[in-house]
Amino acid sequence: MNDVPQEPGAEPRKLPPPVPKVDPTPGEPARSEPAFSVPPGEPDAEWLAKIRLDRNPLLEAARPLLRALADMPEKLDQLTGDLLRNVIATEVRAFQRLCEQASIRRDHTLAARYCLCTALDEVAMRALSNHGGQNNVGTWAGNALATIFHEDTKGGDKVYLLTGRLMQGSNEHRDLLEVIYRILSFGFLGRYAHGSDGHRRHEAVRQRIYNEVMAGREPVPAALSPNAKSTARPKRASFYDFPVWITVTLLSLVLLAMWGYYKYELVTRAGEIQKQIGDIVRMTPPPAPPVLHLKTLLENEIAAGTVSVDEDTHHSAVTFRGDAMFAPGGASVQPSMGPLIAKIAGEIAKVPGKVTVQGYTDNQPIHSNQFASNQALSEDRATQVMQMLQSDGVSASRLEVVGKGDADPVADNSTPQGRAQNRRVEILVTP
């Protein structure tokens, strides 16, 4: 009985030993004793009986031609090639006769013969080309086996087309598919002999045939040597063997999961942002810090020339004329200035910030036992005003006194009017 096809990727197994020699049909020349012929001693009747009893009679009948295909040398000279073609042609005729005698389906016989002739032509011309280039192929190409028996030279494509049709009814054509599987395993590439992915596509077809053939086979019988350990290496899984629809389904599920995750993140973050926006809308802004409006408060005094006010968003400065506030050469504040200073102190107490009281004099030296210099006079005057502000409600921690003497004049000290302007006290409020 024939063994089942080896799994794709494993080393091709040699076919059984040579089959019995078959006599030529009437009218044909006698065949020589090629390496592929039937050894003497096994008559046609015994071989025919063996074919009929085999699980795959078509494969058993094709065994000599498959052996010729598997044992084809890598290089072949033209003379040997001509002799070999004649021997193989004789074996092809013997194959057809045995199939007819074994009552094998004629369409299977013709299809197997076509595929065998095409494959033998290809591997033989490849060996001839390896020996002497394309010029060495001419004789075989002009008298190829497929041309002799089928008048066809397009087998490189038609074998695969035929295989595709047979696969549509694999149960009916399983024996023929097994023969084609052996042909593809013994060196035939056909239209896939060229191209970057030709071998991969060829292997894919071979794998499909193997699967179809094995699907209809009974389980493998128990091993003759149960304890034997196989040295065959398992076929590595290939990316190209993975079904496309499974790949597409998995990628779709991954993309759907990613979309759901990012959608959830987007909705969550959008809700947080909307909540923050709502909190901002509902948020009450802090009250603006109180601002001094001394110009408005002291507009009458400003009009009378008693004080002058300079204020903006960063500071407020009230300047008192020294002659109106103090007696000449003295540091005591005139009683009439008390209400005015109290009014200013009340406003300053309402706002935060530092309060600096600065005293100034003109450049005329002072002649007094009480004050040693203009600096001392200016500092004492500033101190008097600071004490009045403190007593009227301004915190002492905010107050600072600076005596500047005749520094920083605002007018010309050479005239009485200028010296009068330089004798002054300033209350400066800064944030």
Contact 422, 374 (CB under 8 A): no
pLDDT over threshold 70, residue 160 = yes
Give the pLDDT mean for 131-156: 77
Kindly give, in sequence order, each residue whose CB lies less than 8 Å from that of residue 283, ignoring residues fewer than 6 positions away: none
Q: At what angle do helices 174-185 and 63-70 cross, to 10 degrees?
A: 20
| pLDDT at 230 (0 to 100) | 66
Q: Please say whether the beta carbons of 18 and 34 come within 8 A.
A: no
Domain(s) of CATH 1.25.40.590: residues in the chain: 44-221
Q: Find the helix packing angle between 63-70 and 78-101, rounded to 10°.
A: 160
Residue 5 banded pLDDT, cuts 50, 70, 90: very low
The DSSP code for 399 is: E
Residues 6+ apart with CB under 8 A from 398: 353, 354, 355
Assess whether pLDDT exceeds 70 at residue 188: yes
Phi-psi region of 195 (alpha: psi -120 to 50; beta: other; left: phi over 0): left
Contact between 406 and 363 under an 8 Å Cβ cutoff? The reply is: yes
Could you tell me if 121 and 140 are in contact, meaning their C-beta atoms sit under 8 angstroms apart?
Answer: yes
Check: CB of residue 221 under 8 Å from CB of residue 176. no
Read off the DSSP letter of residue 232: P
Is 6's pLDDT higher than 60?
Answer: no
Q: What is the pLDDT of residue 426?
A: 92
For the segment 373-404, what is each residue's pLDDT rounded down to a tens digit? Answer: 888 888 998 899 999 999 999 999 999 999 99
CB under 8 A, 24+ apart: contacts of 153-159: 155/114, 155/115, 155/117, 155/118, 155/119, 155/121, 155/122, 155/190, 156/118, 156/122, 156/190, 156/191, 156/193, 157/190, 157/191, 158/114, 158/118, 159/114, 159/115, 159/118, 159/119, 159/183, 159/188, 159/190
- For CATH 3.30.1330.60, list the domain ranges present in the chain: 294-430
* Residue predicted with more confidence, 295 or 42: 295
Helix, strand or coil for residue 254? helix
Burial of 201 from C-beta contacts in 10 A (0-12 / 13-18 / 19+): middle
Q: What is the DSSP string of 27-83?
A: TSPPP---TTSPPTT--HHHHHHHHHHSSSHHHHHTHHHHHHHHT--S---HHHHHH
**Average of per-residue pLDDT values in the chain:** 80
Report whether pLDDT(124) > 50. yes
CB-side neighbour CA atoms (13 Å) of 350: 12
C-beta separation of 340 from 333 below 8 A = no
Helices (H), 102-151: 106-132, 138-142, 145-150
Residue 334 has a pLDDT of 86
* pLDDT reported for residue 241: 66
φ and ψ of 358, to 5 deg = -115, 130
132 half-sphere exposure, CB direction, 13 A CA radius:
13
- Both tokens of 70, joined, read 């598997």
Q: Is 149 helix (H, G, I), strand (E, B) or coil?
A: helix
Share of residues in the chain with pLDDT > 90 (%) = 20
Indicate the pLDDT class of residue 4, thresholds 50, 70 and 90: very low
Which pLDDT value is given to residue 360? 92
Q: Phi and psi dihedrals of 132, rounded to 5? A: -140, 20
The predicted pLDDT at position 264 comes to 92
pLDDT at 399: 93
Sole residue written with tokens 């109290």: 342
Report how far apart, in Å, the C-alpha atoms of 4 and of each of 20, 65, 252 are. 22, 18, 40
Q: Is the pLDDT of residue 271 over 80?
A: yes
For 55-79, the pLDDT digits (tens) are 889 999 999 999 988 888 888 888 8
What average pLDDT does the segment 32-37 reach? 40
Least confident of 24-33, 229-238, 257-266, 327-336: 24-33
pLDDT for position 154? 80
Class of the domain covering 44-221:
mainly alpha
Q: What is the mean pLDDT of residues 245-274?
A: 91
CB 177 within 8 A of CB 170: yes
Give the pairing of strands 316-321 and 354-360: unpaired
> What is the mean predicted confidence (pLDDT) over 283-299?
75
Domain covering 294-430, topology: 60s Ribosomal Protein L30; Chain: A; (3.30.1330)
Chain position carrying tokens 């005749």:
406
Residue 246 pLDDT greater than 50, yes or no? yes
